[in-house]
Structure 1
Amino acid sequence: MSEEKTYPMTAEGRDKLQLELEDLIANQRPEITKRIQIARSYGDLSENSEYQSAKDEQAFVEGRIQTLKNMIDNAEIIDSNATAKDEVSLGKTVTFKELPNEEPETYAIVGSVEADPLAGKISNESPMANALIGKKVGETVAVPLPNGISIDVEIINVTK
């Protein structure tokens, strides 16, 4: 028997997924149903692009609803208080700089479901986060890159 996959995430991340789920169920699903009914009224479904488009969108939305329900049901809420105050862990924000003289960068370390590097959130599964997790302020860490080399970064600050 296979064990259900868990999805590490912050409470904020779970709440965002819940809002998306509620929107899909309350707004998008009924809208698509209306579009399908209207498209059916046009007659011959075999050459009805509006009908096919709405059915395709319905399949996507229903799939997304199931995915969201699964992620929410199997969410593992991250407790950033479970580690030392200056230790990098899921749910914490870390500031580091590439050595020797790069500008500091700040990222929140979140579960893969919440990751959005452009918004300053990196997945705990990323090479950077993977290398930083468990380390403390002041430590220098070698971060392996996909091209086979590694970079050294110094952890400057960790916050919740």
Structure 2
Amino acid sequence: MNQFPMTVLGAESLRKELDHLKSVKRPQIIAAIADAREHGDLKENAEYHAAREQQGFCEGRIQEIEAKLSNAQIIDIKKMPNNGRVIFGATVSIENVDTGDEVTYRIVGDDEADIKKNLISVNSPIARAMIGKEVDDAFTLKTPANEVEYEIIKVEYI
């Protein structure tokens, strides 16, 4: 069974969602199904069918989260000595060599990635280009339009 890297925050987030689904959402759906059953004929009962569909989605998500957590390799970057190397979980500041623009990303698991929060997947092209590099190392990222050169200016294990 393959293990998937996940940060401590990513695992906590999934556990919270799982807890919410099991303790809040599931009972709400069960109550909605029971309520809809009381309305009589189930064949033409839209509320019943909607609740059953919601139940399917909810149970599917519960199974998905449980599977992800059981296959997760949770990595706590804060417990590792910072040797300046870009690894999974690191927060990396890079500078575009041509424009001087700086951006900071945290390298996370696929499920945690959110570009709006500067969380990039370990499997993304930019993360793959950075992994193993150190402060002051340069790397080139190929984009559909051109190639962009970046320099790593800071690596944090936070």
Q: Same fold (TM over 0.5)?
A: yes
Partner of 1:5: 2
Contact 1:110 1:124 (C-alpha < 8 Å) held by counterparts: yes
Displacement of 1:85 in angstroms is: 2.2
Aligned to 1:141: 139
Contact 2:8 2:76 in 1 (8 A): no
Percent identical pairs in the alignment equals 38
Q: Contact between 1:9 and 1:75, CA under 8 Å: does it hold in 2?
A: yes
Deviation at 1:83, TM superposition (A): 7.0
Alignment of 1:54-73 (within 5 A): 54-73=51-70
Superposition RMSD in Å: 1.5
Once the two structures are TM-superposed, the CA of residue 38 in structure 1 deviates from its matched residue by 0.7
Question: What is the rounded CA distance, in whole Å, between the counterparts of 1:74 and 1:22 in structure 2?
Answer: 18
CA drift at 1:102: 3.5
* Structure 1 residue 148 displacement after superposition: 6.7
Match of 2:148 in 1: 151
Query: What TM-score, normalized to structure 2?
Result: 0.92
Give the Å deviation of 1:79: 4.5
* Preserved contact between residue 91 and residue 104 of structure 2 (Cα < 8 Å): yes
Question: Post-superposition shift, 1:82?
Answer: 5.2
- Residue pair 1:7, 1:74 contacting (<8 A) in 2 also: yes
Q: Cα distance, 1:11 vs. partner?
A: 1.3
Matched, 1:14 2:11: yes
1:105-155 Cα deviation digits (max 9, x unpaired)? 00110111111111121000111101111111101101122x274311111
Range 82-91 or range 70-79, more displaced: 82-91
2:45 aligned partner: 48
Q: 2:123 is matched with which residue?
A: 125
Give, in whole Å, the separation in 1 of the partners of 2:54 and 2:43: 17
Cα distance in 1 between the residues matched to 2:120 and 2:94: 13
Decide whether the 8 Å contact of 1:7 with 1:113 is kept in 2. no
Q: Deviations over 1:62-112 (max 9, x none)?
A: 000001101111110124355752111111100002221232000110111
Distance 1:82 1:150 in 2: 33
Give 5+ residue unaligned stretches, structure 1: none
Give the Cα separation in 2 of the matches to 1:114 and 1:38. 36
Looking at structure 2, the residues matched to 120 and 37 of structure 1 have their Cα atoms a distance apart, in angstroms, of: 43
- 1:12-70 Cα deviation digits (max 9, x unpaired): 21111111111100110000000011111111111211111111111011000001101
| Alignment size in residue pairs | 156
Q: Which moved more, 1:29-38 or 1:43-52?
A: 43-52
Provide structure 2 residue ranges, at least 5 long, that are not aligned to the other structure: none
Counterpart contact for 1:83–1:89, Cα < 8 Å: no
